[in-house]
Amino acid sequence: MSNHLRPFHLAIPVDNLEECRKFYSDTLELSEGRSSDHWVDFDFFGHQLVIHLKEKIAKDTQSSNPVDGKDVPIPHFGVVLDMKTFKIFSEKLIQKNITFIIAPYIRFEGQVGEQATMFFKDPAGNALEFKAFNDLTQLFSK
């Protein structure tokens, strides 16, 4: 296998296509790609994220695991950004009054794997995490 990083593809369920389309395009400022009346593609920082319409999703069945003293929602998805992009993106979200599950902060400060991170949910209840490392070589460090 090649060591060249390839874009991932992730499809997630949403129970209100238009509300979630607005969230991903306006709030997160992602570019929209192809779409139909049942799904929408987005450019998720160079990756392909697709929201698929699915009738009523149980929003209160999510669990969590403790990480660095915070309750991290399980399941969740997201992307690793560079630190400058993370700071700009998190400031935009703060200005847009995003309700954070875990507000932007530095996790594992002063330890191996130190990273900036933040968690929030989309309107369908899908949990997202965005993170960044000053030293990307620590992404998989022990």
Q: Shortest CA distance to 128 belongs to which of 53, 18, 68, 47?
A: 47
Among candidate residues 50, 62, 57, the one with its CA nearest the CA of residue 120? 62
Please report the sign of the dihedral spanned by the C-alpha atoms of residue 78, residue 82, residue 86, residue 88.
Answer: negative
**CATH architecture for the domain at 7-55:** Roll (3.10)
Give domain limits for the chain. Answer: 7-55, 64-142
**7-55 against 64-142: fold identical:** yes
Residue among 85, 122, 123 nearest 104 (CA):
85
Centroid of chain to Cα 48:
13
Superfamily for the 64-142 domain: 2,3-Dihydroxybiphenyl 1,2-Dioxygenase, domain 1 (3.10.180.10)
> d(Cα 111, Cα 88) in Å, to the nearest integer?
24
Task: Give the whole-angstrom CA distance, residue 80 versus residue 94.
Answer: 19
Model pTM? 0.90
The pLDDT of residue 55 is: 82
**Per-residue pLDDT reduced to its tens digit, 4-39:** 788 999 999 999 999 999 999 999 999 999 999 999
The mean pLDDT of the chain is 93
- What tens digit of pLDDT does each residue of 72-102 get? 999 999 999 999 999 999 999 999 999 999 9
